[in-house]
Amino acid sequence: MTTLDREETRATGGARPGAGGRPLPLKLAVPAALLAGLALLVAFPPYGLWPLAPAGVALLAAAAHRRRLRAGAGLGFLAGVALFAPLLEWTNLHTGYLPWLLLSLLQAGYLALLGAATAWVSPLVDRHRAAWPLVTGVLWVGQEALRDRTPFGGFPWGRLAFSQDTSPLLRLAALGGAPLVTFAVALAGGILLTLAWRDWRQPAGLWRPVAGLAAALAAVLAAGPAVPAGVRGGGDGVTVAIVQGNVPRLGLDFNAQRQAVLNNHVDATLKLAEQVAAGTQRHPDLVVWPENSSDIDPLRNPGAGERITQAADAIGAPILVGAVLLGPGEGQVRNAGLLWRPGSGPDLDQLYTKRHPVPFAEYVPLREIARMVSSEVDRVRSDFVPGATPGVLETGPAILGDVICFEVAYDGIVRDTVTGGAQLLVVQTNNATFDVAEARQQLAMVRLRAVEHGRAALMASTVGVSGFVSPDGRVDGATGFNTAAVVVRQMRLGDGRTPATTAGVWPEVALAALAVAALAGAAVLRRRREVDPG
């Protein structure tokens, strides 16, 4: 064995040099990594080509297999940039290129870790080829578990599970939430890779493993539709109106238009009340306004409070208002969902304060250091204070599970409302600073949450896309973007728990633990082969 052969053996964890024993040539691995990122990208809304998500997983795993750790990390980073830079393009529409670039590179860094981990486990999957799909699946779950939590509470946008809103795999969310859906997608990608990574020049005896892997892939895709959708209903239902008032202009200066935005939502509700009085529209039991529908604190500004009271009294139903409230301290504010009842006004006992404000958008951690990177951080003049309790609101007609904007991406924040008794999921959001792609990506998350917890759900946006989602993930009454709309629907209430709701974080813990075990097993094999590379 030459010195070069020994280096290759060491880099690949002891795989024999020659046909089938080396990584893909770099001239193939680099395009494969870039194609992996692009395939993953178009799996997400607004493209929605969900079958390309497993293909992207397979391409990245093939590119990183048997490479040195640095090369695996580099290829993972390339795939991450190809995925996240265009996926998160909506973040630069009104804030400039720097925040978008920094966020995209940060997220790509997690795929770099995944690429390095994929390279690291190469000796394990070479030795136990049947385990390759399983190892691929758990590594993806482990990567997302880390990315969803770090830094500053994480940023779960772009999880594999959120690309599957029209996929048969979506129903697996009812069994194990988003982590199980991610695992199924990556498992399917691992099966594709295992099917492809073989010496096709020697076809003798190939048909049995190929047939077995093909059957396993078909079983994974068939598992989702076999899962029942929804849980038992808790009543006859409730009639809910979503009011999408729109804003005069898209962009960060929607705050400067706050009186106009409030007036838009009040006027749309008054028009709905006229239609109800004329008999052309059903009377809602509950009205939902989006996040930032009243950026004037209605508890401290009498004019704003009077306008909301006018709307609630006219429609004769409680309104869930998305409001920015001042305090509790000097220079602090709260992003809140506040119930406003007809005849009595604000119900301060039914107030939800957003638990996970967005770092560098709603508050600035390490402000002095962040200002050295960009003075744009000073656009955030007041830090939003996080709430301490789940968004469980007793409205009378229904118990709501309220989350605000990006909170729908976080597993625990949504689950806490259901375990707290929520019968209906509500996502209040403001997409005026983004675009229709971001809104559709967010709606895909709402669809997964509805299936995950067996609850009907709705998303109410200032500018769109708003809509209703049934417990099996179907969307009804979706509105257009950058337009005013009012949609009224009958919604079924739920009062049971799915296996995913009951299990909580444990499916993710179990799958991430398997990822750690795979990394440890690969370390043992590498150690042994360093001692005896033959």
Q: How many other CB atoms are found less than 10 A from the CB of residue 423?
A: 24
Distances (CA, A) of 285 to 158, 267, 276: 35, 18, 12
405 is catalytic: yes
Task: Collect all residues with Cβ–Cβ distance below 8 Å to 51 and sequence separation of at least 6.
Answer: 43, 167
Angle between the 69-87 and 97-120 helix axes, to the nearest 10 degrees?
Answer: 140
Distances (CA, A) of 197 to 55, 132, 190, 308: 13, 11, 10, 63
DSSP string, 348-383: EEEEEE-SSPPBTTTB-TTHHHHHHH-GGGGG--SE
Cα angle at 340 between 348 and 353, to 5 degrees?
50
DSSP string, 47-106: T--TTHHHHHHHHHHHHHTT--HHHHHHHHHHHHHHHHHHHTGGGGTTT-HHHHHHHHHH
The residue from 8, 144, 354, 438 that is catalytic is 354
Q: Do 525 and 125 meet the contact criterion of CB atoms below 8 Å apart?
A: no
Distances (CA, A) of 196 to 20, 61, 213, 231, 526: 12, 12, 10, 40, 25
Calpha distance 22→12 (Å, rounded): 7
Task: Collect all residues with Cβ–Cβ distance below 8 Å to 40 and sequence separation of at least 6.
Answer: 52, 53, 56, 57, 79, 83, 160, 163
Calpha distance 114→106 (Å, rounded): 13
291 is catalytic: yes
Q: CA 106 from chain center: how many Å?
A: 16
The residue from 8, 144, 362, 405 that is catalytic is 405
The residue from 8, 144, 291, 452 that is catalytic is 291
Calpha distance 178→159 (Å, rounded): 8
In the block, residue with structure tokens 């920094």: 102
Q: Do 170 and 224 meet the contact criterion of CB atoms below 8 Å apart?
A: yes
Tokens representing residue 519 in the block: 């990394």
User: Which residues are designated catalytic?
Assistant: 291, 354, 405
